[in-house]
Structures are given as C-alpha cells and as structure tokens.
Amino acid sequence: MSSAKAHNLRENNMIKKLLLICLLIVPVACPAFAEDGKALLGQVDRNLNPESYESYRKLINIEPSGAKKEFTLFTVKKGIDKVASLFLAPASEKGRSTLRLGDNMWLYIPNIGKPIRITSLQSVVGGVFNNADILQLDYTAEYNVEKVEEKGTQYLLYLKAKTKSVAYDKLKIWADKDKNLPTKIECLTEAKMLIKTLYFKDVKDFGGGIVRPAVIETDSPLYKGYKSVMILAKIKEKTFKDEAFTLTFMPNLESLR
Amino acid sequence: MKRLLLIFLFFAFWMVPLLAVAEESYTFDPAETEKKPYHVGGYFEFKPILYGLNHDSAFYKVRFFNDPRGQNLLEANGRIQLEGSYEKNIFRIYAKTNTDLKSSYSGESERSTFYEFYGSVKPSSNLKFDVGKKTMKWGKGYAWNPVAFVDRPKDPDDPETGMEGYMLATADYIKSMDGPLKTFSFTPVLFPVYDHVNDTFGNNYKLNVAGRFYFLLYDTDIDLLFMTGGSRTDRYGVDFSRNISTSFEVHGELAYVRNFQKNVLDINGHPYPVEGDAVSYVIGIRHLTTFDLTTIIEYYHNGMGFSGDDMKNYYGYITRGYDTYQTTGNAIALGNAQQMAEGSYGRASAMENYLYVRFSQKEPFDILYFTPSITGMMNTDDQSWSLTPELLYTGITNWEFRLRTGIIAGARNSDFGEKQNDYRIELRVGYYF
C-alpha cells in the first residue's frame, strides 16, 4: 500500500467518524434548538402584544400614484385563537366587523345583516394586507420553529405552518436580539415563493409595559408599486368574556369600546 | 328627473372638498378613536336605469297595455338613507330611514319610511333585548333565504341591498364553551300582526312567535329556526355553513312549511286554491382561487313556487285579456292580472327551481378596489336565464361606482322570457357620509 493510498484511507475513516458524530449529535441537539426557538418566538409574541388586549389601528393602502385609502379598526383579542375587529372609519365601512376563531373567519356587513364566512387569503380592506394579517393570531399558535440563525444583532427564525389552513406556509422572522421584537418578516408559500414582506418600525412605549413597533409596512412582489401601512395608536391589556367572540355578538362589538 | 339630477349634483359638489382632503398625507390622531355616545351617518345614491322593453312579453302587456312605450324606457332613481344612534350605559336607540325617489315616464314619486327603529337593552355581554322595527336576516344563502321567516323576501338581483325590517321584540342569549360546541345562542322573537303593525305580513290580530337556535359545532355554523302563531302557517328550518378549506365554503338551508296555501289559475284562467306542506331549500358554495376569483354557486328549490303549467296559465290569461282589451277596451282581466303581478306571480324567483352563479375577480390587472363580476341566474325548469356583467369601483373613500348590464333571455311562456325587459343598463353612484 502506497503512502498516498494510506493517507486517503485515513482521511475517509476520519470523514466517516465525523459524519457519525454529526448524525448522533443532530437528533439530540434539534429538539433543544426547536425548544429555544419556540421560547424565542413566544417572547416575540408577548412583546408584540399581551395575550388578551384591545387596540386601535389604522390601515392605509397606498397606490403607485400616491392615492391613499384609510381604515380605522378597533380590535380585541382573547387567548390564542379569538380575535374580532370593528371598522370605525371610513363611513362606507363603519359598523363592519370581522371575527376569527382559530381557522374560522366571518365578516359582518350591516346592510347584509348576517355574518358570512370569509377566507384568510381574502382581504376585507383590499391592498396588500389580507384577513390573516388583519386578524393576526400569535405566531406560536400557527407556526413551529424549524431553525434559528444568528445574524449579527438579530435572530433569524425559520417558521413552518402547523396546518395547511394557515395563510402562509413559511415565515422568516428577523428579530432584534436585545428587544426580542421583529424587524422584518417574509411570508412565503410552500414552494418558498415570496408573497409579501412586513417591515416593523418606530418602536414606541404604549404604556402598561408594552413597548413595540407602532408601524408595520408591507409590500409584495404580487402588488408591484403598492404599499400598505398599519399604524397602531393604542394597545392595552384587557380581558373580555368569551361571548364577545361569537357570531351573534358581531353587530354589538361597538359596545366593548 | 331634473330634480334628482339637481340633488345629485348638489351632493357631488358638496363632497368634492372632502375628496381633496382624502388625498393629503395620513395621520392618526388618537382623538379619532374616542368613542362618542351618538353616531350620525348616511348614504346617498343616484341610479339611472335604461330599460330595453320586450313588447311581446306578458309583464310588458300587464304594465303598459293602456300606455304603450317605445323600445326603451329611461328611469332615474335616488335613495337617501340616514342613520343615527345614541347610547347610554346599557341602553341604545338606533334609527335608519330610507327615502326612495323615482322619476320615470309616469312622473315623479317619493316614498320614505323607517327601515329600522329600535331600542336595545344590554344587561350583560351574553344577553340583549331589542324592541322596535328591525331586520333579522336569517339564513346562510347569498341569493335566497327560505329560512328567513321574519324578513321580507330578498332580491336575488341585488342581494346586498339593505332591507326594511318588521316591528318585533327580540332577545339574544349567547353562551361560549370549550369543546366541539364552541358557541350556542338563542334568539326568540315576538312578532305581532295587527292594524298598522306588520299588517302586510299575513293574517291580522295574531301574536306570532319565532326563534333561532345557533350552534358553532365542529367548526360548522348550524341554525335551527321556527315560526308559529297564525299570521302565516307554521314553519321550521335548518341551515348550515362550513369552511371545507381556507378557500372553500359550503352552505345550505332547508325550510318546511306546513299547510301552505296559494291561489293558482287553471287553463281557463279561473283561480283555485292549492294547499299542502312545502319544502324549500338552498344549497351553495363559495370558492376563492389563489388569483382572487370568487365563485358563488347556489341551487334553489322553491317549494312554494309556481310550476311551469301554473305560469303558462297565468301568461295565457294575460294574453287573452290583452286581446280582449285590444278588441273591446275591456281591461278587467288585465286589471286582475296586474293585481296578481303585484302579489306572488310578479315576485322574484316565483317559480320552483333556480341556479345562481356569480364570478367576481378582485382587483384584476393590479387595479386596486376594482371588482368586475358576472352573475347568471337560470330557471332550470324552462332554461330561461339572465346574465348580469358588472363593474364596481370603490377606490375613492366613501364613494362607490357600479355599472351593470342585465341581459334577459327565454322562450315564450318561460320565466325570464316573459319579463318586461330584454335588457337593462344601470349606473349606481353611492356616497357614504
């Protein structure tokens, strides 16, 4: 056996050993990594908003021409899977309300007079934000963390939807390491096609220990030149009775304000 | 017509400065979120319609036998709705008025009424009482609602238009739970029919009782409904709605009406009563594609509707009456036919089996707030149909522009073939304030 052959053999054995060690380590390390990722995502959720809260938001759709359309919403959330929103403005939308219970979503229009089922990918306001964005649940409620990477001062979390009924199959969340708040989120399809990007800006103290971005901008390669902005004016921790999150209650959401 | 145009121009001129404001840069003043105890708002609409008349149709003959028109008929419609509410503690009062203005060949007309006017008491988040004039809007169907026992019939040609309510007393009791049954609610209704109180509904001097039990069970909306009391015969219903996937919804309704009575004409035009239990149902789907095309399909069986033979006898009665009028000037038969047209023979979906298909494409070619759609409705018994292409634009805050055309086709003695018009073109300009 020549010395070169012997060297190659030793090298191959070394690679095999390294591969074996990797194979043994990965299954042990991954759950811990996933657990860390889950905890990290949970912190991001809680830093964005309390589990149960009320908030006032404005959604602005901006067209390439600069024309804008604004919607003001009062939103209430309870637990992991109950969200309801009431349109306060403009006059053409006033009194409309939306309700989300897990994967179920309804829209109540006063003229139609009864809630109709809607889907997460539709948009009750038009523009880049869809119903899943407007009636956002906690990320931990809908996604598992597949992987976490460190990118300088930020974490990059790779999320995978728990079920097929979630609006986006994959999310990539860039979160600030110090504040544990998202700075950017990419929403992707199962085939990793980018649907939209959310940019979190203007971190503000809303009182009650809530310090979070007040502005979320979004754009989409599917809506070239269009932009939608969500501005948070008020948010505070508050609990509501379960009955407030029912179809029968939808015409009465105003009474919660 | 001129008066309507003047009203429209006045509103349009008045609102132009507001449009300019809407173009300014955005702000979010927290004062915008402050709750006021009162609310005042409204809606103004201008709707000119051009009808293309079908001179050979039965309903043209009934309506215009003594005042024949040309090929077309232009009509201008206006609508003003005002709404207001006042809330204090657990009490709230709400009113919505509706004024319809019309200018046509026969002159100008105006009708004003309260669509809704009721008081509410809400002692807790799971209990509410309402008394007054109110719309209930029961059912899950888009174009038809056979289980809407305490509502006026919906117009399948414009299902999203606001409707006038009835005088009633009602309550909502809601209970939320964990488990497969997430929500239960009960809505009892007391529905009086007396002089000047819901007196067009049915038999007079009766206090009717209706109710709806709602369940959100295994992610499915289910309602059980009933009405009894004597103004109309007893009726029971069930409906459901469920999302099969995030983009696919199914719904249905079934109504069982006991001892239903209707008067029909025999082949010689003599009326006779028909009585029996009737079953009506709607089954439908709503689907959304990845490129935002919404499809609504519904099939409606109207167990209380007229059969093909019933309608043929009615059309035959009109034709004979029209011939008699032409030769003798005697309009008695046509007068009777007119009365029947104002009743059940002339109402929308008066026959037994219908198919409704609507496609609407949201924001095609990246044009925000623009929704073209096309709606088809067919009487599946006689294969007559109507087709309504529509363009809707809502890009200017609080304004809504809708242009639609209705094309109607069918053989003689068919449902759509005997309608007054062959086509119609309609523009609707609406403003919310």
For chain A, how many residues are written? 257
Decide if pLDDT at B98 tops 90. Answer: yes
Structure tokens at B231: 């103004």
**Domain boundaries, given as residue ranges, for chain A:** 46-79+119-240
Average pLDDT, chain B: 90
Mark yes or no for CB contact A167/B246 under 8 Å: yes
Which residues 27-66 in chain A show a CB within 8 A of chain B?
56, 58, 60-61, 63, 66
What would the pLDDT profile of A21-77 be if each residue is shown by its tens digit?
A: 544 444 444 444 555 888 999 999 999 999 999 999 999 988 888 888 899 999 999
Which residues 173-192 in chain A show a CB within 8 A of chain B?
none
* Partners of residue A240 in chain B, C-beta under 8 Å: 125
In which band, very low, low, confident or very high, does the pLDDT at B105 lie, cut at 50, 70 and 90?
confident
Using a pLDDT cut of 70, give the percent of chain B over it.
94
Picking from A91, A119, A247, the nearest residue to B288 by CB comes out as A119
* Partners of residue B243 in chain A, C-beta under 8 Å: 103-104, 117, 119
Closest CA of chain A from B216, distance in Å: 9
- pLDDT given for residue B6 in this prediction: 52
Residue in chain A closest to B290 (alpha carbons) equals: A121
pLDDT (mean) for B320-327 = 93
Least confident range from A165-179, B377-391, B400-414: namely A165-179
* Partners of residue A102 in chain B, C-beta under 8 Å: 219
Least confident range from B49-58, B243-252, B349-358: namely B243-252
For chain B, how many residues are written? 433
CB B153 within 8 A of CB B142: no
* Partners of residue A245 in chain B, C-beta under 8 Å: 176
**How far is residue B417's CA from residue B381's CA, in Å, rounded to a whole number?**
13
The continuous run of DSSP H or E covering A41 comes out as: helix A3-48
Closest CA of chain B from A125, distance in Å: 9
Question: Among B174, B215, B170, B208, which residue's Cα sits nearest to residue B191?
Answer: B208
Taking the whole predicted model, whether its pTM rises above 0.90 is answered as no
**How far is residue A37's CA from residue A43's CA, in Å, rounded to a whole number?**
10
Decide if pLDDT at B197 tops 50. Answer: yes
pLDDT (mean) for B338-345 = 89
Mark yes or no for CB contact A70/B26 under 8 Å: yes
Residue A77 three-state SS: strand
- Is residue A193 less than 8 Å (CB to CB) from chain B? no
Mark yes or no for CB contact B28/A231 under 8 Å: yes
Using a pLDDT cut of 90, give the percent of chain B over it.
76
Decide if pLDDT at B286 tops 60. Answer: yes
* Partners of residue B368 in chain A, C-beta under 8 Å: 61, 63, 69, 126-127, 226
3-state secondary structure chain B: CHHHHHHHHHHHHHHHHHHHHHCCCCCCCHHHHCCCCEEEEEEEEEEEEEEEECCCCHHHHHHHCCCCCCCEEEEEEEEEEEEEEEEECCEEEEEEEEEEEEEECCEEEEEEEEEEEEEEEEEECCEEEEEEEECCCCCCCCCCCCCCCCCCCCCCCCCCCCCCCEEEEEEEEEEECCCCEEEEEEEEEEEEEECCECCCCCCCCEEEEEEEEEEEECCEEEEEEEEECCCCCCEEEEEEEEEEECCEEEEEEEEEEEEEEEEEECCCCCEEEEEEEEEEEEEEEEEECCCCEEEEEEEEECCCCECHHHHHHHHHHHHHHHHHHHHHCCCHHHHHHHHHHHCHHHCCCCECEEEEEEEEECCHHHCCCEEEEEEEEEECCCCEEEEEEEEEECCCCCEEEEEEEEEEECCCCCCCCCCCEEEEEEEEEEEEC
Mark yes or no for CB contact B162/A229 under 8 Å: no
Q: What ipTM score was computed for the predicted complex, to two decimals?
A: 0.74
Q: Which residue has the higher pLDDT, A34 or B383?
A: B383
Mark yes or no for CB contact A234/B187 under 8 Å: no
Ramachandran assignment for B336, one of left (phi > 0), alpha (psi -120 to 50 degrees), beta (any other) = alpha
- pLDDT given for residue B131 in this prediction: 98
pLDDT (mean) for B159-184 = 92
Residue with tokens 């024309």: A67
What would the pLDDT profile of B231-270 be if each residue is shown by its tens digit?
A: 999 999 999 999 887 778 899 999 999 999 999 999 988 9
* Partners of residue B185 in chain A, C-beta under 8 Å: 246-248
- Give the CATH number of domain A46-79+119-240; options: 3.30.300.30, 1.10.260.40, 2.50.20.10, 3.40.50.300: 2.50.20.10
- What is the C-alpha R_g of chain A? 23
Q: Which residue has the higher pLDDT, B368 or A72?
A: A72
Decide if pLDDT at B20 tops 60. Answer: no
- Is residue A113 less than 8 Å (CB to CB) from chain B? yes
Residue in chain B closest to A132 (alpha carbons) equals: B246
Q: Which parts of chain A have pLDDT scores under 70?
A: 1-35
Mark yes or no for CB contact A243/B135 under 8 Å: no
- pLDDT given for residue B21 in this prediction: 39
A&B contacts, CB < 8 Å:
158
Question: Among A55, A29, A111, A32, which residue's Cα sits nearest to residue A240?
Answer: A55
Picking from A120, A231, A243, the nearest residue to B246 by CB comes out as A120
pLDDT (mean) for B382-388 = 96
Closest CA of chain A from B51, distance in Å: 27
CB B141 within 8 A of CB B157: no
Q: Which residue has the higher pLDDT, B44 or A247?
A: B44
Which residues 132-161 in chain A show a CB within 8 A of chain B?
none
Picking from A110, A167, A234, the nearest residue to B30 by CB comes out as A234
* Partners of residue A241 in chain B, C-beta under 8 Å: 125-126, 176
Least confident range from A27-36, B16-25, B181-190, B227-236: namely B16-25
Decide if pLDDT at B18 tops 50. Answer: no
- pLDDT given for residue A4 in this prediction: 47
Picking from A60, A225, A233, the nearest residue to B30 by CB comes out as A233
* Partners of residue A249 in chain B, C-beta under 8 Å: 125, 174
Euclidean distance between the first and final Cα of chain A, in Å?
86
Mark yes or no for CB contact B400/A92 under 8 Å: yes
Best residue in B83, B125, B222, B370 for a mutation probing chain A (most A CBs within 10 Å): B125
Give backbone dihedrals phi and psi of B123, rounded to 5 degrees, phi first. Answer: -70, -25
